[in-house]
């Protein structure tokens, strides 16, 4: 029987996940399809019941349901449980639904595609929201020690306390010259109308600077870092790699991420 997968969220029309997963199905000769489903918060419980009854093999979860979906699942992967958020759901052989979070590991894989595995690197993570939390846990699990900088230091400290190591500080206290890798997850700097989250004038040319945003490909923050000679990493790799890890959870097959990254970057106006 043909397998089918979905992504649920509100809004959902902008999602590139269906295009990406359906391309992978075609490349790998897998008889499956992936559809977007617009699910509002008040209909979340009914939607999960419907996905169970209609036999979805698995689905992705996006804003605003990543935390709210947890009570409707039967089991959580340890990392998703620790993060308190789910972006991938797998239908197990017995019909139970298991939640995973592939965002942080997706980011880490995209970062290391450029930097290589460098757990000894000095890393500062800008922001302490849900995305930063996922990245922090994945990087800590891979052996990195982080500094987390946020406008509200207490939020950064809360993540550091859970990790059990690292340092928290205010964004205004970040000295860009002190870090090998800078990861931008805040909403500041996304638009040219907002101030950049930190001063990049002292950034070293050997540094790697990543932003989790992929549209635009080069955010104002990345553009400023690029002017200082740093190597920049946009959010396309994170998007593709988190999707590939979800794909592997569902079908035990890892799709081609490099060609997908190139394809999406070309669509978004990259070289």
Opening angle at CA 43, ends 37 and 45, nearest 5 = 100
Question: For 94-166, where are the E strands, in sequence order?
Answer: 97-100, 123-126, 146-150
CB 108 within 8 A of CB 135: yes
State the Cα–Cα distance between residues 35 and 51, nearest whole angstrom.
12
Beta-carbon contacts of 36 under 8 Å, excluding residues fewer than 6 positions away, are 6, 7, 9, 12, 13, 15, 17, 18
- Please identify which of the residues 2, 3, 16, 66 carries the catalytic annotation: 66
Residue 245 vs residues 48, 79, 194, 249: alpha-carbon distances, Å: 22, 14, 33, 6
Do residues 110 and 240 lie in contact, with contact meaning Cβ atoms separated by under 8 Å?
A: yes
Token pair for 50: 């419907």
Task: Please name which of 83, 78, 128, 80 lies closest in space to residue 101, comparing C-alpha atoms.
Answer: 80
16 is catalytic: no
The residues annotated with a catalytic role in the active site are 66
């Amino acid at each position: 029987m043909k397998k089918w997968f979905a992504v649920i969220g509100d809004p959902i029309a902008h999602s590139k996940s269906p295009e990406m997963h359906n391309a992978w199905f075609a490349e790998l000769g897998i008889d499956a399809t992936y559809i977007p489903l617009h699910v509002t918060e008040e209909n979340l419980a009914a939607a999960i019941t419907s996905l169970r009854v209609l036999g979805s093999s698995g689905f992705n979860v996006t804003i605003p349901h990543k935390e709210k979906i947890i009570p409707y699942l039967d089991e959580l992967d340890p990392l998703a449980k620790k993060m308190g958020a789910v972006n991938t759901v797998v239908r197990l052989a017995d019909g139970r639904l298991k939640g995973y979070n592939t965002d942080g590991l997706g980011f880490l894989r995209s970062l290391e595609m450029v930097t290589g595995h460098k757990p000894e690197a000095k890393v500062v993570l800008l922001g302490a929201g849900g995305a930063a939390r996922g990245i922090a846990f994945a990087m800590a699990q891979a052996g990195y020690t982080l500094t987390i900088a946020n406008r509200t230091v207490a939020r950064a400290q809360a993540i550091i306390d859970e990790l059990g190591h690292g340092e928290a500080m205010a964004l205004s206290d970040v000295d860009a010259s002190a870090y090998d890798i800078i990861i931008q997850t805040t909403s500041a700097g996304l638009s040219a109308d907002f101030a950049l989250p930190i001063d990049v004038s002292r950034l070293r040319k050997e540094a790697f600077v990543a932003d989790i945003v992929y549209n635009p490909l080069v955010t104002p923050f990345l553009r400023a870092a690029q002017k200082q000679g740093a190597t920049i990493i946009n959010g396309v790799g994170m998007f593709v790699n988190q999707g590939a890890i979800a794909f592997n959870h569902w079908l035990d097959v890892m799709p081609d991420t490099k060609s997908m990254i190139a394809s999406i970057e070309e669509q978004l106006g990259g070289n």
